[in-house]
Amino acid sequence: MQSVFQNGFRGRMQRALAISALLMCLVPCGFSAPADSAPDVILNATHVGPRRIEPLTERSVLRDYKFGWANLAQAFQSNSAGALNGLFAGTAITWLTDAVQSQIRAGLTSRYLNQHHKLDAVFYAPEGDLIELHDTAEYDYQILEGSKTIHTEHAFVHYVVLMTPGADRWVIRQLQSVPQF
């Protein structure tokens, strides 16, 4: 009888430990879920000039900028510059690739979590071959050395962005952070 009782107690303890372990796993998983969530991007093109942005172009710019940031976050989190291919070109891809490579050399990784981007289109070239955007970005930024977090902040960053049309998408050519617009 005592043995049965002890076994029952052990079983409950094991279940409790298992549930605790599961909860301990789920809590950080829950916090890290936004790391995989897509960036939230909105685009305001009401004050752009000298050319108006066609609705189809507006949708393409929004889509490609959003994918660009998702890829950027993945590249910096996994230290893999390959994720940058396709949506970045020119100076932007050179800088970002260099940043990922130097991150690897320094033994760092970084995370861009819970991204929100408020884009304002400020210039659209007369011939439609260049667009300038102002991005007021908000995200949780973490820098890690191995598994140790050495910097974490809820960052508000302003970016000046130049995008040009490619064969089937808009590519980011310049992604330059500034203190203010």
Partner 1 sequence: MSSSINTACKIHSAWRGSTFLLGLLCFTAMAFAQDVTLHPPSAAIAGQAAAIGTEGSGSATFYLIGPSSSMKRNVHLGREITLNAGELRQSGRYVAVVCNGRCTSAVFYVSPAKPASMIFLVHPSRAPVSQSDLISGVAIPFDEFKNLVLTPATVQFQLTAKGESPAPRGVETRDGIAWFRANSGKSAGALQVQASIKDVIARRVVQQVASDPCSLRIKGQRTSNGILIETEPVRDCSGNPVPDGTIVTFTAKNGNETSTVDAPVKQDVARARMAAKGPVVISAASGVVMGNELHLGAQE
Given the rule CB under 8 A, which residues bind partner 1?
Answer: 2, 5-6, 9, 50, 91, 94-96, 98-99, 102-103, 105-108, 110, 122-123, 125-127, 129-130, 132, 134, 141, 143, 145, 150-151, 153, 157, 160, 162, 174, 176-179, 181
- Nearer to partner 1 among residue 63 and residue 120 (C-beta): 120
Query: Could you give the CA distance from residue 64 to residue 133 in angstroms, rounded to a whole number?
Result: 13
Three-state helix/strand/coil letters over 76-132: HHHCCHHHHCCCECHHHHHHHHHHHHHHHHHCEEEEEEEEEEEEEEEEECCCCCCEE
- Nearer to partner 1 among residue 97 and residue 114 (C-beta): 97
CA 2 to chain centre: 57
Q: Please report how close the Cβ of residue 78 comes to partner 1 at its closest, in angstroms.
A: 15
Q: Please report how close the Cβ of residue 127 comes to partner 1 at its closest, in angstroms.
A: 4
- Nearer to partner 1 among residue 96 and residue 119 (C-beta): 96
Candidates 57, 60, 83; CA nearest to 72 is 83
The residues facing 160 across adjacent strands are 134, 176
Q: Please report how close the Cβ of residue 108 comes to partner 1 at its closest, in angstroms.
A: 5
- Nearer to partner 1 among residue 29 and residue 180 (C-beta): 180
Query: Could you give the CA distance from residue 110 to residue 75 in angstroms, rounded to a whole number?
Result: 9
